[in-house]
Structure 1
Amino acid sequence: MYILLVVFIAIARISSENCDEISQLNLIVYKTIDSAAENITTSAIIKLNDDAFHLLLANQSIPRLCVNVVQIMNELSVLQIINSSVADIDPGAFHIIPTLTLLKINFNLLTTIKSGVFNNVKAKEIDLSRNFISVIEDEAFDNNTSLQVLKLNHNAIKEINPNWFKNSHNVYKLSVIYNELTRIPAYAFKNLATNRALKLRLSANRIREIDPESFAGCGDIDILRLNGNKLVSLPREIFINRTIRLLEVNTNRLLCFPDVLYESKLQRLEFLENSQFNCTCLGQVRTFVIKSKVDIMYPAIICEDKVREVNWVYNFNKTYEIPLLVTSTTERF
């Protein structure tokens, strides 16, 4: 939770060559967490006169953020640029001295994240969701030791690049949901934090393949969400020499889990809507869940046990057995 909201006065100026000058910007600013929003009309550089908490720039027309367009020397916690037609950001556009809690640039027209834009921005969380990003240069998030959380949701990203995040060793949460990923490559997360468990959200893509070495180089995983993809199997290697606390693989095409999962320290497992899941595997999952006291969400599947002459019903977090329905071979008139 943000503790206080403070107003600042901003002046806007475009200072790099070949940048069209913006004559007027309408800003929304706050003094404290309980204060009403204040509207300020400015031009020239966005600049603080006093310590501040939150600046919102919304529903403007700023196709390009040029060099030094944002200069924050005083305290600021949150900076948001929302629905303002931003299609390009020059390296050096942000000159921000304090450490931001959040830098959010959502509902804009960005397609490319260039090196030099965010490397020197001290922000614990950068949220670039709901743009049109398809290209992220290799060095775009390098050498940023302040960065902990990166959100890239609702874009057009086609790959996780193992070369991202060099020397940005505090990034522990990466969210790339609703994009166009088709596979997770080897060493995909090797540069993420090793001093705390990772939170990885990769749901709602088109992922068909996870390389066996995809998690090589990274440590424990607190949350791994792979819902809404096209996975048929999971590589056994992702469960070896690491703990995954919560695994969600709902709405995929899984047939079974690797045996090493049943030796893991998993605490919660969800695999709803995997309708072709193997019945033998389901029995193994049930045994593991009971033995290890795992929170579970099963797909809705009925499996026949001919030996015991029962049907096992798996549904959400429940399993139960019902007698087999035996069909009579004697025709009745």
Structure 2
Amino acid sequence: MTKFQYFGLIFLYFVINLEASSAFKCDFQVTEEFFYDYYTCIITAESYEIKEVHLPENSDDDVSMISITLQSLGMTEAEFPFCQRFPDLKKVYISGITSVDENLFQQCSNLIEVGITSAYLEELPEKLFANNLGLKTLNITKSMLKTLPEGIFASNINLFTLIFDGNEIVDLPTNIFKSLTSLDKLSLRNNKIKQLNPVWFKDLEKLDDLFLSNNKISELPKNVFNNLRNLDTLRIDNNQLVTIHSDSFGSNRTLTIMEFDNNKINAIDEKTFDKLQVVLLSTMKNICIDDILIQDKTKLSRCFENYQPR
């Protein structure tokens, strides 16, 4: 055997093993959700290769949901072409990744739900969901995100539920939610937001639930919730609010549940409740009021007396 033949065999062996170790393989488990079966793919940092077991009565065309768990790995569509393999894929859940390629979901034209959790991302590509026009639910939690690209939701006009709980978000681009005119629920709990920008919510006329709990918000700007004409529930507990001004709500008339527990509230504008149809108001552990589920506004008299217009 010549030296060239020897090195050629070594190279061929390396290529074959590399291809095998990076192959996209799944442990097929029959789990039904709305009459669909889904794959569970558990991939660790030690190996991409997982034994694959196909059941004879199922095919890739039957798969509508997959769950992928990784540890300390990036993730690209080239390495994990799940949208090519599963043509009817509708739901993807991923955890443990350290980065995502902007083409990861590019061929997933049927996706309606994406969940990413316990990741180490800090940022997302702006065009990550550009081809997912039917996306309805996006849940990215506990993933260390600090902000979001301004155009990341430009194509996702059908988004209904958007959750970014448990990240490191301090601020967001001004027009971040501009295209989300169908959004029903927005949750930014457990982040580090200090200031709310009224423009964030300007186009969310169908928003029903807004959760801002466990941030560092110290003030509600004028007209910040003015355009949320369908808003029913506002949770902004565990922040640093001192004063509640009526002009923060503008012409909003739909709010029925408001939660302000664990703030520093010492004053409330009595006019706040002139237009709002609040049924349940929770204000535990504040300065001027410490009560839960207030329906009798006379309990807020001390807060009303302390109020000074801005």
Q: Normalising by the residue count of structure 1, what TM-score does the alignment of the two structures yield?
A: 0.68
Select which of 225, 236, 258 maps to 2:246.
236
Q: Structure 1: which amino acid aligns with 2:297?
A: F
Task: Select which of 285, 291, 296 maps to 1:273.
Answer: 285
Structure-1 separation of matches of 2:37 and 2:111: 24
Pairing of 1:215-226 with structure 2 (within 5 A): 215-226=225-236
1:247 alignment partner, SS class: strand
CA drift at 1:24: 5.1
Aligned pair count reads 260
Q: SS of 1:97's equivalent?
A: coil
1:239/1:260 contact within 8 Å kept: no
* Contact 1:27-1:56 at 8 Å conserved across structures: no
Residue number in structure 2 paired with 1:112: 123
**1:288 corresponding residue in structure 2:** 297
Once the two structures are TM-superposed, the CA of residue 75 in structure 1 deviates from its matched residue by 2.6
Matched residue, 2:192: 180
CA contact (8 A) 2:186 2:211 kept: yes
Which residue does the alignment assign to 1:147? 159
> Could you tell me which of 190, 211, 214 is aligned with 1:201?
211
Give a deviation string over 1:14-51, Cα, whole Å, max 9, x none.
Answer: xxxxxxx83455456435249998666379xxxx8313
CA deviation vs aligned residue, 1:39-78 (integer Å, no higher than 9, x gap): 66379xxxx8313232111145531324684415633332
SS at match of 1:145: coil
Distance in 1, Cα, partners of 2:71 & 2:234: 37
2:139 to 127, 144, 155: 127
More divergent stretch after superposition (149-158 vs 68-77): 68-77
Indicate the residue corresponding to 2:92 in structure 1: 79
Report the 3-state secondary structure (helix = DSSP H, G, I; strand = E; otherwise coil) of the residue aligned with 1:62: strand
- Distance (whole Å) between structure 1 residues aligned to residue 219 and residue 160 of structure 2: 27
Q: Residue 70 of structure 1 contacts residue 93 of structure 1 at CA under 8 Å; is this kept in 2?
A: no
Q: Is the 8 A contact 1:176 1:203 kept in 2?
A: yes
Q: 1:30 to 1:256 in 2, by over 3 A?
A: farther
Residue in structure 2 matching 1:259, options 261, 270, 273? 270
C-alpha deviation, 1:262, in angstroms: 2.6
Contact 1:27 1:58 in 2 (8 A): no
Indicate how the Cα distance of structure 1 residues 39 and 165 shifts in structure 2: closer, same or farther if over 3 A, else same: closer
Deviation at 1:87, TM superposition (A): 2.1
Give the distance between the partners of 2:284 and 2:125, measured in 1 at CA: 39
Q: Classify the secondary structure of the residue corresponding to 2:271.
A: helix
User: How far is the alpha carbon of 1:116 from its aligned partner?
Assistant: 0.4
- The structure whose residues are more often strand, as a share, is 1
Structure 1: gaps spanning 5 or more residues: 1-20, 290-297, 304-333
Structure 1 Cα separation of the partners of residues 171 and 64 of structure 2? 35
Equivalent residues of 2:222, 2:249 under 8 A apart:
no
Indicate if the aligned counterparts of 2:145 and 2:168 stay in contact, CA closer than 8 A: yes
Amino acid at match of 2:179: N
* Structure 2 contact 246–270 (Cα < 8 Å) conserved: yes
- 1:145-171 residue CA offsets vs partner (Å, 9 max, x unmatched): 221111111110002433113323112
TM-score, normalization by structure 2: 0.73
Cα separation, partners in 2 of 1:77 and 1:36, compared to 1, 3 Å: closer
SS in 1 for 2:272: helix
What is the CA RMSD across the aligned residues, in angstroms? 3.2
**Compared CA separation, residues 145 and 28, structure 1 to 2 (3 A):** farther
Change (3 A) 1:214 1:302: closer
